[in-house]
Structure 1
Amino acid sequence: MSRKNETPVLVLSLLITLGLIGGVAWWFTRGLFSGQNGAQSNSSLNSQTGNGQASFTDRSSTGTRVLNPQSAAAEKLAGAQAMANRNYTQAVTDFEAALQTNRNDPEALIYLNNARIGDQKAYTIAVSVPMATSTNPALEILRGVAQAQTQMNQTGGMGGVPLKVMIVSDDNNPTVARQVADALVKETEVLGVIGHFGSEATLAAAPIYEQGKLVMVSPTSTSVQISNAGNFVFRTVPSDRFTATALSRHLLNNLGKQNAAIYYNSASDYSRSLKDEFVTALTSDGGQVVAEFDLSSSGFNALDTVKQASQQGAEALVLAANTATLDAALQVIAVNRRTLPLLGGDSIYNPKTLQVGGENAVDMVVAVPWVLLSNPQSEFARTAKTLWGGDVNWRTAMAYDATQVLATAIGASPDRTGVQQSLASPDFSLAGATGTVRFLPSGDRNQAMQLVVVKPGERSGYGYDFVPLP
């Protein structure tokens, strides 16, 4: 055969060989990272968050996929793969190794607990958090859930039956939250849901849980509108009414001021709720709100608004920002330069406030549902420090209580109707991390807020701390 005739044959052989190699690589990759049958990182989820296109399978996990975009270590992915293969012994080993690498990872601890359960009978709850879009608050909530699950299962579970936890990533998006709620209602093994994070997501999902007769307990949503969301909606966090009352009375009685300007996000149910409740509370107590500023406005200018507030007679600035407008609120803190007293809602209770606000945030008073330093030697606080290697905040404590609430109700009656009836009973009471948990007929938590103040300190690592107000 001539060299001229050999060339096409060699080219064709090379193309076939490359095609076979590519096909094998595709098959192997698909088998390893398949959303249906194997361990998966959050890559497909991240590409679709916020628009509701990611499937519930991609958004949920009891251990077969990793949802945290900031934590996909090799040991953790290996554990997820072992879970997908139902090799629970290996999964336990891998997740334990992942926690040795990063002890502060609640997702890994939840998956470890689930792996230890394996195929044995378990009662399942779900926790819906904004894992891909607001990772830090999501992890704060998951730490509370993981701690409660760990303690529950180590002490024999509910009548000998362990607690399994499904994590769902909902982007804190109302559209996605509705889709998640619809899917969870159809997951018949799920006996209760912890969530959602923001009031907008909780309000969007609530009618679906109500219609599907599946209990939802929110540890973080505070809008007063949730009080009317239905008989299957509860929360371990007090409503904005309690926050507004605490801030109003501090302004009038402790600071001796009557006139305030308030900053809020008009696009947030939580923020609007807190703003409206504060206006009502301050007016009822004899003060007045002399100016309102929308942090989400396209033309928002922190310096201009602070000048306007002073010109209109404001004696204090109240920050009713939500997580999405925290940066704008921090601009207000910066340009105010401690000229007017600052008050804030629970979303201001954020490490970023200490880190970015710094000296300008000193003496700002923030209302929170719970603060660790009010009882740092409690069993919950000590166990949390052992598990996570540091302090936890109110979101973790409220999520811990929400998990305990559901587990207690499931233990009394392990079906959806029984869980609701247990929590709605006037006799229901639980000694939680944040005090005694009781629910009003509205499903609201009946508990006052606590006030903390920013002071120089080293506990946070930023040179400033939130400490209980004397």
Structure 2
Amino acid sequence: MLKGIADAQTEFNNSDGQDNRLLEIVIANDSNEPELAHKVAKDLVGKPKVLGVIGHNSSDASKAALTEYERAGLAMVSATSTSTSLKGDVFFRTVPPDSVAGKKLAEYAKGTLNLDQVVIFSDFESIYSDSLKEAFKKKFTELGGEVVWDVDLRAKDLNAEDEIERIANQSQVKGVVLFPSVQTDSVAIAIAGANNQLPHNQRLQLLGGDALYVPDTLIQGGPAVEGLVLAVPWFGGTSEYANRAKDRWRGRIDWRTANSYDATQALIKALSFGDATREKVVEALNKVQLSCNETSGEKLRFWASGDPERESHLVQVAKDAPAPIGSEFGFKEIEKRESNASDCYW
């Protein structure tokens, strides 16, 4: 996240800022822990010069913090929290909510892969996992599919090999959907590993959410995650910003960096509308419109709900895609639609 925020801050300050005023960033760390996130939020609310917050990272941390920001009227723009339970007058996000991602993945599972039955592995204690699971279930069921059962990735007695074998013995189940939280993504990769131990003709199609859209999935999963399809919020590796950031950070950026850049750009725009106060920043964010040249690659504005007017993308793990150091696999976009000039401007 910090890379994207730093990029937007550097560009703004290097162009002399706004009315000879520069953007100052205060860094706080909640370690994705809700209790700590609440304390961090109270601390930030108590700093009068803080006019907006970029964050938090996990949906659970964001929910814990949001109550404090709502009470203080302090704008919160999250670049990574996707749970549909996050709502509020001061809440905005640059990443599509789970309702969008879950629908996209379900349509692909049923309409393209022709899966009729799946088993879902999710984190029962995570509001992110829960909302993504429910969105997927809703659309998959509407399309005639069936979720045979759910498995808790936090279950103490969970045995990846036994669970995959049990699923493989169900003749109609051909797919496994992985919706871990940031705390349980390694367990999801272990499930993929167990699936890879099955005879090739018995292996299950793997699908998942954006928590797995990280280099560690490719590095730790290796051949076990080949073919994994994810619904993700961003795939702009060739955008103007992505190319600039690649040069600066000496490597490809990820979706968290990209959406954090967008969140900072949105706040900068809101701060530029006049004498900024917390109340005016919230009002201005509702009016923000950024072209694709001002963001990480996709134009941005917010619905009344604070959600962005954006769609999810589908990526698949494959060998014929740029790979991080330590892996021979990368993410490539699938089912990419044709773009036109109207996709860049409002």
- TM-score of the aligned structures, taking structure 2 as reference length: 0.91
Structural RMSD (CA): 1.3
Structure 1 CA distance, aligned partners of 2:209 and 2:194? 19
CA contact (8 A) 1:372 1:392 kept: no
Displacement after TM superposition at 1:430 (Å): 1.1
In structure 2, which of residues 323, 332, 341 is the aligned counterpart of residue 467 of structure 1?
332
Displacement after TM superposition at 1:311 (Å): 3.3
Asked if 1:256 corresponds to 2:119, the answer is: no
Q: Percent identity between the aligned chains?
A: 37
Asked if 1:386 corresponds to 2:244, the answer is: no
Please state whether the residue corresponding to 2:183 is helix, strand or coil: helix
Displacement after TM superposition at 1:153 (Å): 0.8
Instruction: Determine the structure 2 residue equivalent to 1:422.
Output: 284
| Unaligned residue ranges in structure 1 (runs of 5+) | 1-140
Instruction: Determine the structure 2 residue equivalent to 1:437.
Output: 300
Displacement after TM superposition at 1:158 (Å): 2.2
Instruction: Determine the structure 2 residue equivalent to 1:327.
Output: 186
Instruction: Determine the structure 2 residue equivalent to 1:314.
Output: 173
- TM-score of the aligned structures, taking structure 1 as reference length: 0.67
Structure 1 CA distance, aligned partners of 2:19 and 2:234? 30
Asked if 1:181 corresponds to 2:48, the answer is: no
Structure 1 segment 15-94 matched on structure 2, within 5 A? none
Structure 2 CA distance, aligned partners of 1:401 and 1:159? 22
Structure 2 CA distance, aligned partners of 1:340 and 1:468? 21
Aligned residues: 323
Instruction: Determine the structure 1 residue equivalent to 2:342.
Output: none
Please state whether the residue corresponding to 2:332 is helix, strand or coil: strand
Structure 1 CA distance, aligned partners of 2:11 and 2:221? 37
Displacement after TM superposition at 1:469 (Å): 1.3
Displacement after TM superposition at 1:286 (Å): 1.6
Please state whether the residue corresponding to 1:169 is helix, strand or coil: coil
Asked if 1:238 corresponds to 2:96, the answer is: yes
Higher helix share goes to which structure? Answer: 1
Instruction: Determine the structure 1 residue equivalent to 2:340.
Output: none
Displacement after TM superposition at 1:310 (Å): 2.8
- Greater relative CO (CA pairs within 8 A, separation 6+): 2
Displacement after TM superposition at 1:288 (Å): 1.2
**Larger C-alpha radius of gyration, 1 or 2?**
1
Displacement after TM superposition at 1:305 (Å): 1.4
Displacement after TM superposition at 1:458 (Å): 5.2
Please state whether the residue corresponding to 1:451 is helix, strand or coil: strand
Displacement after TM superposition at 1:190 (Å): 0.5
CA contact (8 A) 1:398 1:434 kept: no
CA contact (8 A) 2:322 2:331 kept: no
Please state whether the residue corresponding to 1:335 is helix, strand or coil: helix
Asked if 1:396 corresponds to 2:265, the answer is: no
In structure 1, give the amino acid aligned to 2:329. Y
CA contact (8 A) 1:372 1:393 kept: no
Asked if 1:357 corresponds to 2:221, the answer is: yes
Structure 2 CA distance, aligned partners of 1:285 and 1:239? 21
Instruction: Determine the structure 2 residue equivalent to 1:451.
Output: 314
Instruction: Determine the structure 2 residue equivalent to 1:367.
Output: 231
Please state whether the residue corresponding to 1:149 is helix, strand or coil: helix
- Structure 1's consecutive aligned runs of 4 or more residues displaced over 6 angstroms after TM superposition are none
Structure 2 CA distance, aligned partners of 1:309 and 1:440? 40
Displacement after TM superposition at 1:302 (Å): 0.9
Displacement after TM superposition at 1:452 (Å): 0.7
